[in-house]
Amino acid sequence: MNDQHDQLLPAERKVVKELGHLPLDFRAMWAISNLFRSSTAIRRHMEARVLANDRLSWTSFVGLWVLWVWGPMEARAFASAVGISRPTATGVMSTLEGRGFLTRRKDPKDGRMVIAELTPSGRSTIETLFPTFNLEESAVAAPLSPAQQDDLAAMLRTLFASVATGDAGS
C-alpha cells in the first residue's frame, strides 16, 4: 500500500491522475522531468544567491569559468565549452568584453579565427567568485550522501552520452 506513488510531487500526482490511463513510460518521465525541474531551480538559486552581487548572468559566469580553466581559446571552442551556439557566443563575448572581463584578438596564423582571453579584471572576478559558488554547490548537494553524489554524477554522464554521441533512440 506504501508504494512509489507517495514520493511523487503534487504536480506529478496530477499527471498520473490525468494521463495515468495512457501507455506512457512514466518511469523515464519522472527521471527526465525532474532533471529539468531541479536544474532550473538550482540555476535560479545560484543566480540569486551567488551571481546577483556581481550582476552576472549564469552564462556569463560559465564563460568566465571556461576561460579561466582553459586559458585563451578560439570563439568556436569557447561556444562549445560553454554549451551555446556560435551566434550566442558572439553576444556573450561582447557582453563580457563590454564589462572589461575579456579581450578579443585575431589569430595571426589564420585570419578567420578570433581568440578570446580573460583580462586581469575578469580573472580576479572568477577567482574570487568561484569558491563562493562551489560552497553553494556543496550546500545544495549536501542532502545527498557522498556515495549518492557520485552515483548521481555517473548516471547523468550516462544520460549525456546517450544524446551526445549515438544521438539515442529511434
42 interacts with DNA by CB under 7 A:
no
CB 103 within 8 A of CB 97: yes
Whole-angstrom distance, CA of residue 30 vs CA of residue 16: 11
Closest distance of CB 111 from a copy of itself, Å? 28
Q: Name the packing angle between helices 26-46 and 120-141 (round to 10°).
A: 130
Number of residues written out for the chain: 170
Closest distance of CB 110 from DNA, Å? 4
Phi/psi region, residue 55 (left: phi>0; alpha: psi -120 to 50; beta: rest), is left
76 interacts with DNA by CB under 7 A:
yes
- β-bridge partners, 104: 116
Q: Footprint of a copy of itself on residues 136-165 (CB under 8 A)?
A: 136-144, 146, 148-164
Among DNA, a copy of itself, none, what does residue 75 contact (CB within 5–8 Å per kind)? Answer: DNA
Closest distance of CB 52 from DNA, Å? 8
Closest distance of CB 102 from DNA, Å? 11
| Closer residue to a copy of itself in complex, CB, 107/150 | 150
